[in-house]
Homo-oligomer: A and B are copies of this chain.
Amino acid sequence: MPCGYHGKILHVNLTTGKLELEEPDETFYRKYMGGSAMAAYYLLKQTPPGADPLGPENTLSLMTGVVTGAPFSGQSRVTAVAKSPVTGLVGDSQAGGFWPAELKAAGFDGIVIYGKSGRPVYLWLHDGEAELRDAAHLWGHFTADVEDVIREELSDRRIQVLQCGPAAEKGVRFGALINNASRANGRTGMGTVMASKNLKAVAVRGHNRPELADPEAVKALAKWGVDHFEGSNVYGLGLLGTAGVVSSQDKNGGLPTRNWASGTFEGAEAISGQRMADTILKERDTCFGCLIRCKRVVEVTEGPFPVDPRYGGPEYETISTMGSYCGLSDLVAIARANQLCNMYGMDTISCGATIAWAMDCFERGLLTLEDTGGIELRFGNAGALVQMVERIGKREGFGRVLGEGSARAAETLGVGRDLVVAVKNHELPAHMPQVKRSLALIYAVNPFGADHMSHEHDPSYKWYPERMAELGLLDPQPLQVLNAEKVRYALYTQYLCSCLDSVSLCQFVFGPAWQLYGPSQLVEAVRAVTGWNASLWELMKVGERRLNLLRAFNAREGSGAEVDTVPPKLLIPLQGGKSDGVAVAAEEVEAAKALYYRMAGWDENGRPTRAKLEELALGWVADELAL
């Protein structure tokens, strides 16, 4: 590896205030690449088994990857990993924006955060320098305001801020990390972990663009992207945002509606991407260096639900969880709920899905106005939704209960357990296993709970056969089948997605479904930036390595197949629309799970074996697990 990568990892001990710089060797970078794999490395090394997710012994890593900051689309991504207060197992979440590239320009690949500060602080990183600063005056404030104050006090408008919000400070389990006031490492409560450490924010600013081993190749990759953008699938994503899929999901019977009772929503058109573009859309936004511009910026100045464009606009997941999940077709109310989540720093998926669960209970009489503090939690009640989001953000009244997430709320209240649509306490995102069958498997087995970005959904088989072939997937499949070939498809695409989350690349740009770039260009991107003669074999193995690291963390916690479940609600036939009468078959999932474990090289309890870990050059993890 003659011309390789070098970089810096900052270790922040909040208990002692000590900041240390690590400059790992090239082999380390090439083995883990960055992002989730590298963060999981530190989590396993630094956090003891049985740690309290909200205690000082939890380790929170914020990692970019080896390609972050290079001038092509899709490279400005950051992964947050820690033990999750939502799942009690490993937590993992990605976000884009400008923060990741700015961190790199400031001279850091990532940050590993230990301990707990005695008082609120924030971390200020700029051009190789790092310092902890007082954050007492920032505590309790909304994300955009915190950004403004930090930029003001450090006299630089171009500072990028990644932070937890007031919800996380108060202990809402699904607290997000918010950057740019509109981009979220939303899932698995990473904001809550940060808040538990009395760390408010990480502000970054730098002037050093990353070295490129082959600038001409980077330029060529970028140019190819520009030249092929209009003809690509992702072009539509730029036009309508992720909201563009509302209509097609609905048409396919795959838009979760009224807490997953149906896959079809009569109000779909009213909350569609096209409707957004025709009404509240103010502009399109982007991440550093990306030409897609898939981010929405919406504005509403009048009416009961004002929306400040500073907080961006709702993604498809938010539209569905706050909208169709809740039987709600009021796009403005959804946009307002989205803003509140970004202000308070909350995961829109868990927040919306938990409210949808509560509405389901309310409709069935399992919850009453007395329980909800007077909020009429009926499907379709826009005011109730917005009010409830705010109460959760403040952790007030019934919001305190729902801020624990649907699964814990059901336990606390003793109602609606079978109405919870979550895996490992992690609420399901808005893609339905009933119509894309591989999701049933991946929702169940994913180490950090139900997740829609952990593998490629079934239909991309037919969208990009030539790119699937690069992954060794040659045989097409019908949709509503979960056979051996589909398990194989799920596993291979999971490796790819897992690699993207480690190299730190956006799945909209490099993932197999929406992609602008195919797998061979993923290889090219890594090569051009690092100078390594990387291969797709090597990169897929990085993805597999990351998946095994996450899974090994859970195994060390004593967790295995018993938490790899499908929520019972999915076994009940859907009502109406194209997916009328369709249900997930429990036996099918169990058979697929058993096959998947074996394919992955795990034991029958879903735990990585020593042989698999050794095969991935992770012998130290096998030792850690005492295998």
For A, the interface residue count at a CB cutoff of 8 angstroms equals 46
- The answer to whether B475 and A538 have CB atoms under 8 Å apart is no
24 contacts between A and B (CB under 8 A): A2-B466, A27-B475, A30-B474, A466-B533, A471-B535, A472-B537, A472-B538, A475-B617, A491-B615, A518-B533, A519-B537, A520-B533, A520-B535, A535-B535, A535-B537, A536-B536, A537-B540, A595-B614, A597-B611, A598-B610, A598-B612, A599-B611, A599-B612, A599-B615
Give chain B residues whose Cβ lies under 8 Å from the Cβ of A598: 601, 609-612
Check A470 for interface membership: any CB of B closer than 8 A: yes
Segment with Cβ contacts to B, from A264-272, A349-357, A482-490? A482-490
Known: A488-B617, A615-B599. A474 touches B31 (CB 8 A): yes
| Alpha-carbon gap, A576 to B467, bound state (A) | 56
Contact of A30 among B30, B469, B487, B532 (CB under 8 A): B469
Check A465 for interface membership: any CB of B closer than 8 A: yes
Q: Which chain A residues numbered 598 to 619 have a C-beta less than 8 Å away from chain B?
A: 598-599, 601, 609-612, 614-615, 617, 619
Known: A533-B518, A536-B537, A609-B598. A614 touches B470 (CB 8 A): no
9 pairs of A and B residues whose beta carbons are closest in the complex: A598-B611, A535-B536, A536-B537, A484-B614, A599-B615, A470-B535, A537-B537, A472-B538, A472-B541
| Alpha-carbon gap, A532 to B601, bound state (A) | 29
* Chain A positions 455 through 467: 1 when the CB is less than 8 Å from some CB of chain B, otherwise 0: 0000000000111
Known: A30-B474, A475-B27. A488 touches B614 (CB 8 A): yes
Distance of A333 from chain B, by nearest CB (Å): 46
Give chain B residues whose Cβ lies under 8 Å from the Cβ of A472: 537-538, 541, 617
Give chain B residues whose Cβ lies under 8 Å from the Cβ of A626: none
Contact of A535 among B523, B532, B533, B614 (CB under 8 A): B523
- The answer to whether B536 and A538 have CB atoms under 8 Å apart is yes
- The answer to whether B617 and A467 have CB atoms under 8 Å apart is no
Give chain B residues whose Cβ lies under 8 Å from the Cβ of A519: 535, 537
- The answer to whether A471 and B615 have CB atoms under 8 Å apart is no
Known: A598-B609, A614-B488, A619-B484. A27 touches B474 (CB 8 A): yes
| Alpha-carbon gap, A519 to B523, bound state (A) | 13
| Alpha-carbon gap, A617 to B471, bound state (A) | 12
Give chain B residues whose Cβ lies under 8 Å from the Cβ of A467: 533
| Alpha-carbon gap, A523 to B612, bound state (A) | 26
Contact of A532 among B469, B484, B614 (CB under 8 A): B469
Known: A471-B535, A471-B538. A599 touches B614 (CB 8 A): yes
User: Most chain-B CB neighbours within 10 Å: which of A465, A474, A595, A612?
Assistant: A474
Q: Which chain A residues numbered 564 to 616 have a C-beta less than 8 Å away from chain B?
A: 595, 597-599, 601, 609-612, 614-615
Give chain B residues whose Cβ lies under 8 Å from the Cβ of A615: 488, 491, 599
Contact of A538 among B1, B27, B469, B595 (CB under 8 A): B469
Distance of A482 from chain B, by nearest CB (Å): 13
Check A534 for interface membership: any CB of B closer than 8 A: yes
Distance of A594 from chain B, by nearest CB (Å): 8
Across the interface, name the chain B residue whose C-beta is closest to A614: B484
Distance of A471 from chain B, by nearest CB (Å): 7
| Alpha-carbon gap, A424 to B155, bound state (A) | 76
- The answer to whether B595 and A470 have CB atoms under 8 Å apart is no
Give chain B residues whose Cβ lies under 8 Å from the Cβ of A469: 1, 30, 532-533, 538
Distance of A480 from chain B, by nearest CB (Å): 19
| Alpha-carbon gap, A1 to B518, bound state (A) | 13
Across the interface, name the chain B residue whose C-beta is closest to A622: B484
Give chain B residues whose Cβ lies under 8 Å from the Cβ of A491: 615
Q: Which chain A residues numbered 33 to 75 have a C-beta less than 8 Å away from chain B?
A: none
* Chain A positions 535 through 552: 1 when the CB is less than 8 Å from some CB of chain B, otherwise 0: 111111100000000000
* Chain A positions 374 through 410: 1 when the CB is less than 8 Å from some CB of chain B, otherwise 0: 0000000000000000000000000000000000000
| Alpha-carbon gap, A485 to B27, bound state (A) | 15
User: Most chain-B CB neighbours within 10 Å: which of A487, A610, A615?
Assistant: A615
| Alpha-carbon gap, A568 to B472, bound state (A) | 41
Across the interface, name the chain B residue whose C-beta is closest to A596: B611
Across the interface, name the chain B residue whose C-beta is closest to A474: B27
Give chain B residues whose Cβ lies under 8 Å from the Cβ of A533: 466-467, 469-470, 518, 520
Across the interface, name the chain B residue whose C-beta is closest to A27: B474
Contact of A1 among B465, B611, B617 (CB under 8 A): B465
| Alpha-carbon gap, A487 to B31, bound state (A) | 18
| Alpha-carbon gap, A34 to B485, bound state (A) | 22
* Chain A positions 165 through 202: 1 when the CB is less than 8 Å from some CB of chain B, otherwise 0: 00000000000000000000000000000000000000
User: Most chain-B CB neighbours within 10 Å: which of A470, A535, A609?
Assistant: A535
Give chain B residues whose Cβ lies under 8 Å from the Cβ of A470: 533-535, 537-538
Give chain B residues whose Cβ lies under 8 Å from the Cβ of A532: 466, 469
- The answer to whether A474 and B535 have CB atoms under 8 Å apart is no
Give chain B residues whose Cβ lies under 8 Å from the Cβ of A1: 465-466, 469, 474
Q: Which chain A residues numbered 315 to 369 have a C-beta less than 8 Å away from chain B?
A: none
Distance of A329 from chain B, by nearest CB (Å): 42
Give chain B residues whose Cβ lies under 8 Å from the Cβ of A539: 537
Give chain B residues whose Cβ lies under 8 Å from the Cβ of A599: 601, 611-612, 614-615
| Alpha-carbon gap, A246 to B73, bound state (A) | 53
- The answer to whether A487 and B614 have CB atoms under 8 Å apart is yes
Known: A2-B466, A27-B475, A466-B2. A485 touches B537 (CB 8 A): no
Across the interface, name the chain B residue whose C-beta is closest to A540: B537
Give chain B residues whose Cβ lies under 8 Å from the Cβ of A484: 614, 619
| Alpha-carbon gap, A475 to B31, bound state (A) | 10
| Alpha-carbon gap, A595 to B601, bound state (A) | 12
| Alpha-carbon gap, A467 to B538, bound state (A) | 11
